[in-house]
Structure 1
Amino acid sequence: MTTNVGMEQLIPLVNKLQDAFTHLGVSMSLDLPQIAVVGSQSAGKSSVLENFVGKDFLPRGSGIVTRRPLILQLMNANVEYGEFLHQKGRKYTDFDQIRKEIEDETDRVTGMNKGISSVPINLRVYSPHVLNLTLVDLPGMTKVAVGDQPPDIEVQIREMVLQFITKDNCLILAVSPANTDLANSDALKIAKEVDPQGVRTIGVIT
């Protein structure tokens, strides 16, 4: 298998920059290569992401589950564990515990009312089964606020998604469920707004 040496050297540098910006509490505005996973709620985004890792580790449930961007840095290594930036040095070998920490850390910032926050969770997964990639999991797009969600939840999520996918170096993984008409796909619609020629959009049917 051939590898892009320049990219192999760039990824660790990008990870260090990401860490530094997050520690400072500011968004990283550099236009760096990453893959953003977008789609409506319950479109199957979690399953697609978990297939990249080969492990079940993302929270599941009905309604809005992903309420903060999850920046997932995959690092090819001989060992297999996860590490959160907000818990530097703690190694998770149990991926069920990774799921629980994502849930707890989400609630810590957003509260229990199903609101969202643009403050990302940074998770690095080391494994012999992954490629060196940076993936971003984003909240599923919705049309109707439920329960204690803010009434403008649709607008908030849309703005958060656009924050990531408008960057020229962001590949868009547009996830659509197979049981809906692709012409009505929320993921493809928003991808087309920022990438009308489809040059950096990859459609995935779940």
Structure 2
Amino acid sequence: MLVNELNTKESSGLLSAVDRMREILHNEKITLPEIIVVGDQSVGKSSVLEAISGIQLPRAQNICTRCPLELRMKSTANIEYAIIRNSKRSEDAAETLNDMNEISNAVTRLTKEIAGEGTNVSSTPIYLTVYKRHMPYDLTLIDLPGITRNPLPGQPKDIHAQILNLINKYIEPVTAVR
């Protein structure tokens, strides 16, 4: 059964190497499989990821996902925890979260660090790796900013085009499941 094969020590090591490759090759022409959530703003994209992952992501009235969130789900037999970092920083600057309830706050904090306090959108991703017990398989999910048709106060007039360009960058590879 595929689930048993993916949960071996050897497979886990290989999948970790794939995640490191994904970061290294982020702007290159080599792509790796990933599931990408795309749609209009405030239609429930993050809620779908919450249902799949079992972790709570930030919620807001207007635009909430303002930069790509690369969510990597990993199975563990031990303690559950998460590692999160701003992709502008080295892996040494990653933050370990032992309380899964802190993930939402950490994502919000890094989003503000990357995209600012307002409603701007950035193409710089946040990397979040969550280690949970009873995960049937390791999985990479990508949450992207929702499509905004009319700029909010403080957003550039071309926000719609900026978001579409960001989405197209992620969904262009044939390995992207969307």
Shorter-chain TM-score tier? 0.7 to 0.9
Deviations 1:50-88 (A, max 9, x none): 1122122x1101211100000011111122111013474
The structure with higher relative contact order (CA 8 Å, sep 6+) is 2
Instruction: Give me the whole-angstrom Cα distance separating, in 1, the residues matched to 2:48 and 2:55.
Output: 11
Whether 2:28 is the aligned partner of 1:46: answer no
Of residues 126, 129, 138 in structure 2, which corresponds to 1:124? 129
Asked if structure 1 preserves the Cα contact closer than 8 Å seen for 2:22 and 2:31, the reply is: no
Q: 1:182 maps to what in 2?
A: none
Shift of 1:46: 1.3
Instruction: Give me the whole-angstrom Cα distance separating, in 1, the residues matched to 2:29 and 2:129.
Output: 20
Instruction: Give me the whole-angstrom Cα distance separating, in 2, the residues matched to 1:71 and 1:38.
Output: 13
Whether 2:21 is the aligned partner of 1:17: answer yes
Q: 1:160 maps to what in 2?
A: 166
Shift of 1:95: 2.6
Shift of 1:6: 7.7
Q: 1:69 maps to what in 2?
A: 68
Q: CA RMSD in A?
A: 2.2
Count of equivalent residues: 167
Q: Pairwise mapping of residues 1-206 of structure 1 onto structure 2 (< 5 A)? A: 1-3=1-3, 5=5, 8=11, 10-20=14-24, 27-56=27-56, 58-78=57-77, 79-86=79-86, 88=92, 90-130=95-135, 131-172=137-178
Instruction: Give me the whole-angstrom Cα distance separating, in 2, the residues matched to 1:6 and 1:75.
Output: 10
Structure 2 stretches lacking a partner, 5+ long: none
Shift of 1:28: 4.7
For residue 112 of structure 1, what is the amino acid of its counterpart? E
The TM-score with structure 2 as length reference comes to 0.84
The TM-score with structure 1 as length reference comes to 0.73
| Cα 1:142–1:32 shift into 2, 3 Å | same
Asked if structure 1 preserves the Cα contact closer than 8 Å seen for 2:151 and 2:160, the reply is: yes
